[in-house]
Amino acid sequence: SNTLESLKEVSSEAVAPIFRSMLEMLEESIVHIQEENFTKRGGSESGDTVSIYLSDLLMKISHCRAEYLSKFKTESSNRSIANEMVNSLITKLAGRVLEVYVEFARKIRPEDGPGRTCLANDMKQIEGAIGKALCPLESIGKPYEEFKAFREGLPLASPYEEFK
């Protein structure tokens, strides 16, 4: 029905700025990954120090759930059109966050083992936060599969290590 489609479109346009601002806020944290010294952090005594960029990103993911997404009624038992639309937007948001993260992580990919392990551990924390605060990871599809494949490939030896 045309009326129903029009209603979906108008509703989607009404909440789009909220989702855009959440994405911008999360991307703002992700870009700071470039300032991180994974080699130093991975080689620290404790080996598990949390960086500023990661703690900021995790806090903002929780903030999105608490301050914005909690206002939407998104129970899985509710099959309303509005619920499906909001869940779809949340899933797209989560997918885009993972895509942007991988894009930046590829640029800074640490060459040493401890640094790569440290980045992989950061990615596990991000997976946990997104799965808890935004949506089930499996629902994200290809962006999550690519994120996971990148993370799982990190601990593997760098092609440059054998020449050191």
pLDDT at 91 over 50: yes
Q: How far apart are CA 30 and CA 53, in angstroms?
A: 7
In-domain check, residue 25: yes
Q: What is the CATH number of the domain that holds 125?
A: 1.10.357
Q: How far apart are CA 135 and CA 109, in angstroms?
A: 27
pLDDT digits 0-9 by tens, 25-39: 999 999 999 999 887
Question: Domain residues for 139?
Answer: 2-157
Helix (H, G, I), strand (E, B) or coil at 66: helix
Q: How far apart are CA 114 and CA 41, in angstroms?
A: 8
- How big, in percent rounded to 5, are the helix, strand and coil portions of the chain? 75, 0, 25
Q: Are 118 and 125 in contact (CB under 8 A)?
A: no
pLDDT at 163 over 70: no
Q: Between these two residues, 14 and 23, which has the higher pLDDT value?
A: 23
pLDDT of residue 82: 72
Task: Tell me what the pLDDT averaged over the chain comes to.
Answer: 86
| pTM listed for this prediction | 0.86
pLDDT of residue 158: 55
Burial class (CB in 10 A: 0-12, 13-18, 19+), 138: exposed
Average pLDDT over residues 7-27: 91
In-domain check, residue 164: no
Q: What is the gyration radius of the CA atoms in the chain, in angstroms?
A: 18
In-domain check, residue 115: yes
When divided into structural domains, the chain yields a total of 1
